[in-house]
Structure 1
Amino acid sequence: MALRSNSTVRSINLSSNQIKKEEAQSISEILKNNTTITSINLSYNPLGDGILFITECLKLNSTITSINLSKCFKSDTIIASIDHSGNQIKNTISQFISECLKLNSTIRSIDISGNQVGNEGVHDILEGLKSNSTITSLNLSDNQIGKPGTQSFSEFLKLNSTITSIDLYLNQLKNEGAQVISECLLSNSTITSINLCENKIGNEGAQFLAEALKFNSTITSLDLSENQIHKEGALSIADCL
């Protein structure tokens, strides 16, 4: 590929191109040695096992700051790989991403939306982020995250001091998840933007969030659109502003 010798391209968009395992492997080989590309968009490609090559190269790449993996796999499936000692390893996709995030120190923004990782998958990803101190923007929208997943989020955000933007659009938080998120907002002082759009949050959830906002002084953007909030919940939000 021409990118092997190119030293001027900073951003590359390969979304919606039917990139699969073989192509992903070729891309990863280039990224291992490339020192100029800072942003790569691989969204809407059926990467499958190819995600393994991408996450492995990100462990070595020190220039990429933004990566979009939205809609790259249908579920948090198990992938078998061979480690450097010749041992077979079986991990879920989210576990491979988690290991990558533990070692990468340059990525600032990651989009894993629309991949249906579920509660266990988000737990694995957040475990990787516990060791990461550079990512500031995290998009986990449309991933079937419910209350157990938000519990993992809450525990993580109480300790994290780098993430400023979180997108949880189109998950399954409901009132219980909104309560968990609101509790973590009481102690987190770095998040400035959070998207909770389309999460079946009702008046009760809105009231929990409103109480948290009374004590939180860093949130500047909160998206609660397309939920199930009526007059009572809306008034609670209005009262805290």
Structure 2
Amino acid sequence: MIGDEGAAALGGALATGAAVLTELKITHNEIGIEGAKALASALRFNKVLTSLDVGWNSLTEEAALGIVRVERQRNKLTSLGLASCFIGPIGAAEIAEYVSGSGVLTDLRLNNNNIRDEGAKAIGKALAVNGVLKNLDLGENEIGDEGAKSIGGALAFNGVLTNLLLWNNNIGDEGAKALAAALDVNRVLTILVLWANSIGDEGAKALASALRVNTWPPRQLTELDLGGNEIGDEGLYALASAFEVSGVLTDLWHL
């Protein structure tokens, strides 16, 4: 509960005296707009911080984007956490531009925002050209099948993303099919989290079909989370059969 005053104090230290601190995680601290401004201002002068997580505070979209705008120029962060910052589709599009141009960011957490399909499409376009991002958390963002299709399409070209978290959205069977199509050609994704996405038997069968061909090195998928969906016996049988055939997948979570 350090609030804006505490964030401002930390910002002052980052700007002047924290010459060796590389990681700062200040989630769940009731930091608001003024605190975010202080941190953004500090980043202009700090040359060493590489990991910043300000999620789960009281930031607005504009406050979160203030940090992103500074970082686009600074270009030092390898990890950025912006969970629950009230970021919507327009803000997500601006963050996507940042991702497109970043050559250092490997970990981005945008979970528990409201980016929806429009924002997911922008992120998908960024993934198609980004060459460094490895971990992306888009959980609980009201993403539907259209957003999932865009992300799936990007995965066909992306050769670096290893962890994709899309939990508690609404991608449904059509979104699952798009992601399954990506798995047919993607050779690097290792973890795919799809729990609570209204996926039924048809989506499960599409994923199962992809798992059957996602077995030859260097294809890497090892963990698939499909808990909390609407998969029945037919889909479960298809997944179990694919799991038995696959020589790579090691964890099929929560079914």
TM-score, shorter chain, exceeding 0.5:
yes
Work out the CA distance in 2 between the residues paired with 1:181 and 1:130.
Answer: 14
Matched, 1:227 2:229: yes
**Residue 63 (structure 2) aligns with:** 50
**Residue 91 (structure 2) aligns with:** 93
Gaps of 5+ in 2: 1-11, 244-255
Over residues 121-167 of structure 1, what are the superposed CA-to-partner deviations in whole Å (9 max), with x where a residue is unaligned? 11112223333211111110101111111111121111111111100
Work out the CA distance in 2 between the residues paired with 1:147 and 1:159.
Answer: 19
Work out the CA distance in 1 between the residues paired with 2:41 and 2:221.
Answer: 40
Equivalent residues in 2 for 1:110-189, closer than 5 Å: 110-189=108-187
Tell me, what secondary structure is at the counterpart of 1:169? coil
Are the counterparts in 1 of residues 77 and 104 from structure 2 also a CA contact under 8 Å?
yes
Work out the CA distance in 1 between the residues paired with 2:172 and 2:126.
Answer: 26
Work out the CA distance in 1 between the residues paired with 2:106 and 2:221.
Answer: 19
Q: Displacement of 1:74 after TM fit?
A: 5.7
Which residue type is aligned with residue 226 of structure 2?
L
Equivalent residues in 2 for 1:8-47, closer than 5 Å: 8-47=20-59
Are the counterparts in 1 of residues 128 and 155 from structure 2 also a CA contact under 8 Å?
no
Percentage of pairs with the same residue: 29
Which residue type is aligned with residue 193 of structure 1?
I
Is the deviation greater in 33-42 or in 13-22? 13-22
Over residues 169-207 of structure 1, what are the superposed CA-to-partner deviations in whole Å (9 max), with x where a residue is unaligned? 001011121111111111111111100111111122111
Work out the CA distance in 1 between the residues paired with 2:151 and 2:188.
Answer: 14
Gaps of 5+ in 1: 77-91
Which residue type is aligned with residue 32 of structure 1?
R
**Residue 3 (structure 1) aligns with:** 14
Tell me, what secondary structure is at the counterpart of 2:129? coil
Q: Displacement of 1:19 after TM fit?
A: 2.5
Work out the CA distance in 2 between the residues paired with 1:143 and 1:203.
Answer: 23
Which residue type is aligned with residue 105 of structure 1?
G
**Residue 72 (structure 2) aligns with:** 59
User: What RMSD, in angstroms, separates the aligned Cα atoms of the two structures?
Assistant: 1.5
Are the counterparts in 2 of residues 58 and 104 from structure 1 also a CA contact under 8 Å?
no
Work out the CA distance in 2 between the residues paired with 1:155 and 1:173.
Answer: 14
Q: Displacement of 1:55 after TM fit?
A: 1.1
Are the counterparts in 1 of residues 129 and 158 from structure 2 also a CA contact under 8 Å?
no
Structure with higher helix content:
2
Work out the CA distance in 1 between the residues paired with 2:108 and 2:199.
Answer: 25
Matched, 1:205 2:203: yes
Which residue type is aligned with residue 232 of structure 1?
E
TM-score scaled by length of structure 1: 0.88
